[in-house]
């Protein structure tokens, strides 16, 4: 992923003069002029800008855009692949104002909320595809409070901010455990989680595996979280509300048109490397690049991993070589018929170390010999 805000500001001048737009390589079309002085933006499912011809393009936004401020302005509409409106709202020079409404693919209302000075106010109401109420979250206070919840059978489980909560959500991006969904379960008191909560991984056959256990205090703050898969404690709780990605559109971030980027696998590599190599008291203020080769079988299992372009010091390379074998899987390459094949991957990455010696791995990119 790359920051494109400054880039967009520069190329919009070209867009309005010539009607054409390309990225820094002259290839990607991330937005185009639309009728009546509007601009059409191209996003993937998670509101990252992508090329208009990318297979992962799934959302088009039509809106005014203020070039000098690099922000959306006035009414906008987002459309899915079929041309169905999935989100409407309003920006006042980049600030969300007034009613926002999202829609299911069949056109029924998915959720509705009112923004004031870029913040939700009042009730954020969610609905099932059949139009029945699902969830009400109130934002009259600094943080949202769950005030009502109905299960899929229409039974109200939370009323006036009190009751039991069981909610299933998909993993948005790649996770090494291979489970597509997770389920959050616990009690709600005065609109916030209270007491003992669990998270279960759920496989396609509906088998549930306990993933995390959490204890929330009377204020709804996580006192203790434990990840059973990692045998580790944590302090930031997992999400308990439906995740809305439309916020990301305002950041104007882009992704290359590759499955490794779209699936979140490159982000997973960044988080995996950064977690395993967190800091060093002897290494500070370093910016460096590296690459390594992976011999991959047709099932995505690495058979041989070799450091190719090394980092600047022996100590850093020793750390890196310890981490490389810990990545258990890569997405296999596909041939022209869509069948998985063995391949050799070259993985490129960047390492930043700040003045406190903290490591941050980022900007991962995978090049495949047998697949463009």
Tens-digit pLDDT profile for residues 218-254: 999 999 999 998 888 998 888 899 989 999 999 999 9
Distance CA 90, CA 78 (A): 12
3-state secondary structure of 54: coil
Would you say residue 356 lies in a domain? yes
Confidence of residue 92 (pLDDT cuts 50, 70, 90): very high
User: Could you tell me if residue 222 is inside a domain?
Assistant: no
Report residue 162: phi and psi, to 5°: -135, 135
Q: Write down the pTM of the prediction.
A: 0.82
- Across residues 165-188, what is the average pLDDT? 89
CA dihedral 269, 29, 83, 204 (to 10 degrees): -10
93 phi, psi to nearest 5 deg: 55, 50
Looking only at the bridges linking them, the beta strands covering 85-92 and 95-96 are: antiparallel
Residue 260 lies in a domain: no
How far apart are alpha carbons 152 and 351 in whole angstroms? 46
pLDDT band at 26 (very low <50, low <70, confident <90, very high): low
12 lies in a domain?
Answer: no
Cβ–Cβ under 8 Å, residues 108 and 130: yes
- Integer Cα distance of 357 and 107 in angstroms: 51
E strands, 26-131, in order: 31-33, 39-43, 59-66, 71-79, 85-92, 95-96, 98-103, 109-116, 119-127
Confidence of residue 175 (pLDDT cuts 50, 70, 90): confident
Q: What is the pLDDT of residue 133?
A: 97
Both tokens of residue 96?
């969300």
Q: How many domains does the chain have?
A: 1
The C-alpha atoms of residue 139 and residue 91 are separated, in whole angstroms, by 19
Is 321 within the bounds of a domain?
A: yes
Ramachandran angles phi, psi of 35, nearest 5°? -60, 160
258: tokens are 């590759």
Q: C-alpha dihedral over 31, 36, 37, 41, to 10 degrees?
A: -20
Residue 198 within a domain: no
Domain carrying residue 299: 278-368
Question: In this structure, is residue 229 part of a structural domain?
Answer: no
Classify residue 294: in a domain, yes or no.
yes
End-to-end CA separation in angstroms for the chain: 18
Residues 339-366 have a mean pLDDT of 92
CATH number where 338 lies: 3.30.1150
Whether residue 167 contacts residue 175, with contact meaning beta carbons closer than 8 Å, is answered with no
Percent of the chain topping pLDDT 90? 67
Among 300, 295, 284, smallest CA distance to 333 is for: 300
Residue pointed to by tokens 């490591």: 359
Please report the sign of the dihedral spanned by the C-alpha atoms of residue 53, residue 57, residue 60, residue 64. Answer: negative
Distance CA 128, CA 184 (A): 18
SS3 325: helix
Interval 295-342: pLDDT, tens = 999 999 999 999 999 888 888 888 888 889 989 999 999 888 889 999
């Amino acid at each position: 992923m790359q920051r494109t805000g400054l880039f967009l500001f520069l190329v919009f001048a070209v867009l309005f003069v010539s009607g054409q737009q390309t990225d820094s390589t002259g290839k990607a079309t991330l937005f185009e002029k639309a009728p009546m002085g509007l601009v059409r933006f191209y996003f993937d499912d998670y509101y990252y800008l992508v090329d208009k011809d990318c297979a992962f393009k799934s959302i088009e936004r039509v809106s005014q855009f203020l070039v000098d401020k690099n922000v959306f302005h006035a009414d906008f509409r987002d459309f899915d692949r079929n041309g169905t409106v999935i989100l409407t709202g309003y920006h006042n020079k980049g600030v969300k104002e007034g009613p926002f409404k999202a829609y299911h693919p069949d056109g029924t209302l998915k959720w509705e909320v009112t923004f004031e000075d870029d913040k939700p106010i009042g009730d954020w109401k969610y609905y099932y595809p059949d139009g029945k109420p699902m969830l009400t979250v109130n934002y009259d206070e600094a943080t949202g409070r769950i005030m009502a919840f109905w299960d899929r059978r229409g039974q109200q489980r939370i009323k006036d901010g009190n009751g039991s909560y069981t909610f299933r959500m998909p993993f948005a991006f790649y996770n090494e455990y291979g489970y597509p969904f997770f389920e959050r379960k616990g009690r709600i008191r005065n609109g916030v989680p209270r007491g003992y909560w669990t998270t279960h991984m759920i496989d396609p056959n509906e088998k549930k595996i306990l993933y995390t256990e959490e204890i929330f205090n009377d204020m709804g703050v996580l006192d203790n979280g434990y990840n059973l898969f990692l045998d580790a404690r944590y302090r930031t709780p997992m999400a308990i509300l439906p995740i809305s990605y439309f916020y990301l559109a305002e950041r104007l971030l882009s992704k290359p048109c590759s499955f490794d980027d779209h699936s979140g696998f490159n982000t997973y590599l960044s988080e995996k490397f950064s977690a395993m190599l967190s800091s060093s008291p002897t290494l500070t203020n370093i910016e460096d690049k590296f690459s390594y080769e992976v011999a991959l079988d047709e099932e995505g299992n690495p058979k041989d991993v070799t450091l190719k372009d090394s980092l600047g010091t022996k100590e850093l390379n020793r750390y890196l070589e310890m981490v490389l074998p810990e990545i258990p899987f890569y997405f296999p390459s596909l041939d022209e018929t869509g069948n998985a094949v063995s391949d050799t991957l070259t993985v490129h990455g960047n390492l930043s170390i700040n003045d406190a010696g903290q490591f941050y791995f980022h900007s991962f990119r995978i090049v495949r010999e047998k697949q463009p």
